[in-house]
Amino acid sequence: MVKAKAFTLMEVIVVIGIIALSTAILLPYSLSQIDRSTVSNTADNLKSLVFLQQQNAYSYKNNQSYGIYFDMKDIYLYQGDSYSAVLEATKVDIDKTVGIIEVNLNDGGRDINFQKGSFKPSSYGTVNIGKERVSYQIIINQQGLIDVQKI
């Protein structure tokens, strides 16, 4: 009679326990990495949008000034001298899980405008975005340089 070789119940339970323990340890770290990546990508996208509006204004595209408006949930791109004076703005879809935490511009407003032919913004300061424990800051200085930093 030939004995069949198989795993014992104890061996199977130990392997399942190791897998469960590994999952319990690695899952929070993985979710945290996903959050960091999502916020970082959103910050980079916002930097690109500000730069796009800056380039449009500098190149006299449509012979207009260009700007970007930061609402608490949405972002709008517009042509014109200010967000309040435009007739139409384009809403930009960003990751809905990432929120705009704070807009801190020198003039107390929520929009950054670039006059046609100029790199310099009408207002400058910071825009903070984040998700749970991950935050990034988009910095626009007086000269129009744009930077992103983790905070």
Residue 3 has pLDDT above 90, yes or no: no
- Which CATH number goes with the domain that contains 119? 3.55.40.10
Residue 34 lies in a domain: yes
At a CB cut-off of 8 Å and minimum separation 6, what does 117 contact? Answer: 57, 58, 60
Give yes or no for a contact between 131 and 38, defined as CB atoms under 8 angstroms apart: yes
| Model confidence band, residue 1 (pLDDT cutoffs 50, 70, 90) | low
Indicate the number of domains in the chain: 1
Res 132: pLDDT: 84
Question: What confidence tens digit (pLDDT) does each residue in 83-140 have?
Answer: 998 888 999 988 889 999 999 999 999 999 999 999 999 999 999 999 988 999 999 9
Q: What pLDDT score does 6 carry?
A: 81
Q: Which residues pair with 89 in a beta bridge?
A: 78
Write down the pTM of the prediction: 0.81
* Per-residue pLDDT reduced to its tens digit, 59-82: 999 999 999 999 988 999 999 999
Confidence of residue 54 (pLDDT cuts 50, 70, 90): very high
Domain region containing 75: 10-150
User: How many C-beta atoms surround the C-beta of residue 130 within 10 A?
Assistant: 20
Assigned domain for 30 exists: yes
Burial class (CB in 10 A: 0-12, 13-18, 19+), 100: buried
Quick one: pLDDT at residue 17? 94
Q: What is the pLDDT of residues 23-51, one digit of tens each?
A: 888 888 888 888 899 999 999 999 999 99
Predicted confidence at residue 101, as pLDDT, reads 93
Q: Does residue 73 belong to any structural domain of this protein?
A: yes
State the amino acid at position 145 in one-letter form.
L
CA angle 20, 23, 28 (to 5 degrees): 140
Q: Would residue 3 count as lying in a domain?
A: no
Residue 5 domain-assigned?
Answer: no
Q: How many residues does the chain have?
A: 151
Both tokens of 123, joined, read 């207002």
